[in-house]
Structure 1
């Protein structure tokens, strides 16, 4: 790998490949470390959050000497347009009251906890899951007899996803590790309150614009707090304001200043 350091920016999103939870073998980790080390030496590295920069400094000691800049990801203007974009799925096909979760079923997305939360929420709550569900979690859903309360979608349009955000009670985002946290920022921009763990980069990115929990009891309290209309509107407005910090114009402007 040969890069022109003066002309090359390499943006680091996360280092999950090196996490023990990933279960990767030593050879894959060694190759990954070699690639990252080479890029750190032959390019100008950029991290998408302070959390990611700290992870780089933890796994690659020499990176701390580079004073790696942090440049947050951006959102397309689409997510902020509350009038133009309409749900392109029949709203009547959605449950009346649902929490939304978006993403893969990787370990750090913590879908098992989301299923546990649904099991203790009142019966009128449903879960709308966008993204894959592993066989393990499908078995968990069946064992808890939650099939009828879960709506599952994959490979949907951004228009549909924004509609899901705008009609949800909240985005439930109990992630254990995020380099940036796209779903939380998309939800905030779309006017959807967010209930989250605050782990990884989430507190850094979302600030006080979302509700935080750390166990099932606190998550239930957060979700049900949003039944209070003034509180809900407060978090909708705070979320929109916070999400407005993350535009591609800002991101590109910061990147150009680095070079």
Structure 2
């Protein structure tokens, strides 16, 4: 795993460990921004929940060098039950107002750690996790109001933070370039897929959409311009009567994203699905398509590989970093390339078998536990540096 995270800067962590042993217990507390616990689970929320759960397991096992984690949330949020991590509802507000007013007041001089990219604008002693730079690189995929707010808050925070966390070597380079942060203050964690091990596939979704026993391609994500679902539509149109059925799972947030428009009936839309339903789709699909123009990591293709589903992915750097040699790649601006790959995969059972086996091996290189251990190191370092 260390080779995957080669960009991460490890200098200073041994010094952080020795210095932390001399600190009083109260200074070993890390406050976690728990606003994400009240949000619908998409990629960032998935990362935050899974890393936090693994951190709880690590601390409950007596590891962590005495670090105490307290998750702060708005009141009324249903939080998981942890063994070693404390959850503390606080404040009077919710949403952005809670994060910008109640949260910094409660933390005051403590260290605040966020698994998401936003935090209190006025808080200096904090670490955020910037998953990608899509707001800067793909501005048309976001509303103007959201772009202004995001750029203001995130730029301000990471320029004052002792360090900033991200999830891939590609994203680290992008953050350094877009936000002017020196690489020495960037740290790289990782993501995983093991949440799918906790659920059993719900095949009812196949029956409801007439997919049982049917060969189909699968795409997962928000149908925004950046996710590039239109490339799938165009590829299907190019294949004509030879086009396979294609299923798209996911929803869109109209307050943040601009909705892309698709050709009528080009894709079977099944909407937002549960983990159980998603697992059934991954295990039943003939292949998984990930045509995104830009990603910071890309959990869906990793999930697909872990379920043995062959992956066709765009040639975006972060996705190639995650999938390695276990996927077939196409230019996201070339629907004809995707059409050719779709034809080949559906026509060749042996190709599907090879891709499935390669994907299962590639997925073994990633885990939420490793991501949690890395974040724990970053918390310890931030305690000493801030």
TM-score strictly above 0.5: yes
Trace 1:89-168 onto structure 2 (pairs within 5 A).
Answer: 89-91=205-207, 93-94=210-211, 96-123=214-241, 125-132=244-251, 137-138=261-262, 141-142=263-264, 147=265, 150-168=267-285
Query: Which piece of structure 1 moves more, 15-24 or 171-180?
Result: 15-24
- Alpha carbons 1:166, 1:190 under 8 Å: kept: yes
Distance 1:176 1:168, change over 3 A: same
- Alpha carbons 2:223, 2:260 under 8 Å: kept: no
Equivalence for 2:10: none
2:309 to 183, 192, 204: 192
Secondary structure at 2:186's aligned position in 1? coil
Q: Distance in 2 between matches of 1:14 and 1:109?
A: 14
- 1:250 counterpart = 2:370: yes
Distance 1:242 1:129, change over 3 A: same
Shift, 1:152, TM fit? 1.3
Cα RMSD, aligned residues only: 2.7
- Alpha carbons 2:232, 2:338 under 8 Å: kept: no
Shift, 1:150, TM fit? 3.1
> What's the TM-score, normalizing by structure 2?
0.58
- 1:21 counterpart = 2:140: yes
Deviations along 1:116-139, whole A, 9 cap, x unmatched?
11112253511111124787524x
- 1:59 counterpart = 2:178: yes
- Alpha carbons 1:3, 1:43 under 8 Å: kept: no
Total equivalences in the alignment: 248
Secondary structure at 1:212's aligned position in 2? strand
Shift, 1:15, TM fit? 2.3
Query: Which piece of structure 1 moves more, 97-106 or 120-129?
Result: 120-129
Trace 1:162-241 onto structure 2 (pairs within 5 A).
Answer: 162-214=279-331, 215-226=334-345, 227-241=347-361
What are structure 2's unaligned runs of at least 5 residues? 1-103, 114-125, 253-257, 381-386
1:45 to 164, 180, 187: 164
Q: Distance in 1 between matches of 2:148 and 2:235?
A: 38
Deviations along 1:21-70, whole A, 9 cap, x unmatched?
23654x75454333223332234311111121112111211x12534111
Shift, 1:165, TM fit? 1.2
Shift, 1:10, TM fit? 1.8
Secondary structure at 1:14's aligned position in 2? coil
Shift, 1:4, TM fit? 4.4
Q: Distance in 2 between matches of 1:157 and 1:244?
A: 23
